[in-house]
Amino acid sequence: MPRQAGWTYYWPGMVDREIQTEHWPERTTYDFPVRPIGALRWFGLLPMGFAVFWAWMPGHEIFRLTRQAQVGGGFEWFMVGFLSLFLLAALLPFSLGLFLLAGRTRLVVTRDQIVTTEIAGPIRHSRKVRFADIDRLELASRSRPPGGVSALGSSLAQLGGLSAVLKNGKKRLLVAAYPRDWVEDVTKEVSGLMGQQGGAPAIVRVEALSDPAARPEAEELAPRPIDSKVSLETKASGIQLIIPPLGFWKGSKGMIVFAILWCLFMALFTAVMGFARTSSRTIAFSFGCSSASFG
């Protein structure tokens, strides 16, 4: 049955938490509501509060330096630009907290690609996947928990996610933390829309077990190679694979060098601020930035 252009409907059974769907000749849009994760959404206030606390000190200094720079002085404007980097850094934890607190997903299927947009107020983040790169669609969920599980755990077990497994083996997350029935129905429609432009991808269901006791036991363990440094331990809840670190330089992948350079930079910055401004407030702020770099 051909799809009509420009019609909207709401999924039944969801009074105030509908998936708004719009069908057009060139695209189909699925607007998901705010994620129904219950009380877990309030954990988003933690990174948001940290971001506000982190941005308060440089923000206060920027306000003070801006007033001084109006009188004259290029050093103040240099410091305003430098301290603005700390304000931009605070946007990352604030955005993560906002996505957890009030994040929702918009899934757009065009003629040749899938566009997923995470929306949380004015903040948006999009990712695109082309049809030609998709090998299959993967539905992930947890098995229904046994009796005695809390209401929060039971509600979270009803959630599922949708990923696109690419032909190179990588995965691209499309939809996460929504009721499995919603995700499954949307996945079928997306597969059908992709089939209209070519071959419909296979839908694979991956279900994690909520009860560790229900996990199947391994029939046989392969022997460890003689030259292998990886150890394998069998526990009551499963199998633990221990992989040793790659080493100081190879394992850090340059992070040690970056940390040393960052500490040297912050030490120089602290010295400059200490000599340039004798007020205790500025010195305290510089010491705080230096301490944060070592932490």
pLDDT in tens, 207-227: 765 555 555 555 556 666 677
Question: Residue 81 has which token pair?
Answer: 């630009």
Domain count, the chain: 1
pTM of the complete model = 0.64
Q: Is residue 160 part of a domain?
A: yes
Q: Tell me what the mean pLDDT of segment 59-80 comes to.
A: 78
Residue 84 lies in a domain: no
Strands 202-208 and 134-142, by their bridges, are: parallel
Is 221 domain-assigned?
Answer: no
Q: Is residue 199 part of a domain?
A: yes
Q: Which amino acid is at 190?
A: V
Read off the pLDDT of residues 15-58 as tens digits, 9 standing for 90 and up. Answer: 345 788 898 988 999 999 998 888 888 999 999 999 999 888 88
CA distance 81 to 125: 26
Structural domain contains residue 41: no
Q: Give the other-Cβ count within 10 Å of 128's Cβ.
A: 13
Residue 251 maps to a domain:
no
Is residue 79 assigned to a domain? no
153-156 long-range contacts, CB within 8 A, separation 24+: 155/36, 155/38, 156/37, 156/38, 156/40
Question: Is residue 1 over pLDDT 50?
Answer: no
Instruction: Please report, for the domain that includes residue 145, its CATH number.
Output: 2.30.29
